[in-house]
Structure 1
């Protein structure tokens, strides 16, 4: 069964992605290194979200969720 910690973790990842996207929008296009670092952070966060989604789906399939 999913607990509050799992929802908090997923919400934290979504909030991080939202902040990264906002920061990317404010970054000067000429600052190539910062943009590349932001792209890496966004991609890592996206992979973490997909992994969390898969874990939750597995728990649901096993009947561990209400």
Structure 2
């Protein structure tokens, strides 16, 4: 987990150092996406998954004839 925190800190530092203008908007967007992904991993570890086989809603097929 500490490596994830280090990556988050590194990305935040890059975002602070990057000048904000039209030319760097795409780069900043990519950094924000990575940051969101890493923060999501902190909340829900990779091993944990939502749902699985047998869960959910499956109405099946019906005939209307």
Normalised to the residue count of structure 2, the TM-score between the two structures is 0.63
Structure (1 or 2) with the larger CA radius of gyration: 2
Alignment RMSD, CA only?
Answer: 1.1
- Structure 2 gaps of 5+ residues are 49-65
Runs of 4+ in 1 over 3 A off after TM superposition: none
- Unaligned 5+ runs, structure 1: 1-9, 56-66
Superposed, which structure 2 residues align to 1:21-36 within 5 Å? Answer: 21-30=12-21, 31-36=24-29
Residues matched between the structures, number: 44
